[in-house]
A and B are shown apart, each in its own frame.
Chain A
Amino acid sequence: MKNRRWIGISVYLLLALLLLFIPLLFNDRYIHLMIIIALNIVLALSIRLVFLAGELNVGHVAFMGIGAYTSALLATRLGWSFWISLPAAAIVAALVAAVIGFFALRAKIKGWYFAILTLAFAEAFRLIATLWKGLTGGATGVLDIPGPAIRIPGLPVVDFSSRLNYYYLALVLVFITWLVMSRLEHSRFGLSLTAVRKSDILSESVAINTVKYKVIAFAIGCAFAGVAGSFFAHYYYYVSPYEYTLHQTLYILLYALFGGIGSLWGPVLGATILTLLPEFLRIAREYEPAIFGAILIVTIWLLPEGLVGLRRYITSLRTKLLGRA
Chain B
Amino acid sequence: MELLPQIIVNGLVSGVVYILIALGITLAFSILRVINFAHGEFYMMGAYLAYYLSEEVGLNYWAAFPLAILAGALLGAFVDQVLLRRVGRELLRTLILTLGLMLILQSGAIFFFGNQEKAIPSPIAGVLRSTYLTITNEKLVVVLICLALIVGLIILVRWTKMGRAMRAITQDREAALIQGVNVEGIFAGAFAIGCGLAAAAGSLMGILVPIGPYMGSVPLLKGLTIIILGGMGSLPGAVIGGLMLGEIESFMTFYANPLASQLVFFVLIILMLFVRPRGLFGEE
Please list the residues of chain A having a beta carbon within 8 angstroms of any beta carbon in chain B.
51, 56, 58, 103-104, 107-109, 111-113, 115-117, 119-121, 123-124, 127-128, 130-131, 246-247, 250, 253-254, 257, 286-290, 292-297, 300-301, 304
Contacts and interface: CB of A to CB of B under 8 A. Distances in A.
B91 A56 contact: yes
Interface residues of B, number: 39
Given A51-B92, A127-B262, A116 B35 contact: yes
A103 B274 contact: yes
Given A111-B91, A250-B99, A293-B102, A123 B266 contact: yes
B277 A107 contact: yes
Chain B facing A: main interface SS? helix
Contacts of A287: 107, 110-111
Given A127-B263, A289-B107, A297-B100, A117 B269 contact: yes
A165 B224 CA distance: 44
B4 interface: no
A292 B103 contact: yes
Given A56-B92, A123-B262, A296 B111 contact: no
Nearest to A131: B259
Contacts of A56: 91-92, 95
A116 B93 CA distance: 15
B277 A257 contact: no
Given A293-B107, A301-B83, 20 more contacts: A112-B35, A113-B273, A113-B277, A115-B91, A116-B269, A116-B273, A117-B273, A123-B221, A124-B263, A127-B260, A127-B262, A250-B103, A289-B106, A292-B100, A293-B104, A296-B99, A296-B100, A296-B103, A300-B100, A301-B97
B103 A104 contact: no
Contacts of A104: 273-274
Interface string B215-258: 00100010011001000000000000000000000000000000
Interface of B: 29, 35, 83, 86-87, 91-93, 95-97, 99-104, 106-108, 110-111, 115, 217, 221, 224-225, 228, 259-260, 262-263, 266-267, 269-270, 273-274, 277
B256 to A, nearest CB: 10
10 contacts: A120-B224, A120-B266, A123-B266, A127-B259, A127-B263, A290-B108, A292-B103, A293-B107, A296-B100, A300-B96
Contacts of B115: 286
A301 B100 CA distance: 11
A253 B99 contact: yes
Contact of A257 (B96, B108, B263, B269): B96
A246 B217 contact: yes
A304 B93 contact: yes
A124 B277 contact: no
Chain A facing B: main interface SS? helix
Nearest to A245: B217
Nearest to B93: A300
A153 to B, nearest CB: 48
Contact of B270 (A115, A124, A294): A124
B152 to A, nearest CB: 27
Contacts of A119: 221, 224
Contacts of B260: 127, 131
Given A56-B91, A116-B35, A293 B266 contact: no
Chain B CB within 10 A, most for which of A108, A120, A253 = A120
A289 B103 contact: yes
B273 A109 contact: yes
Contacts of A115: 35, 91, 95
B226 to A, nearest CB: 12
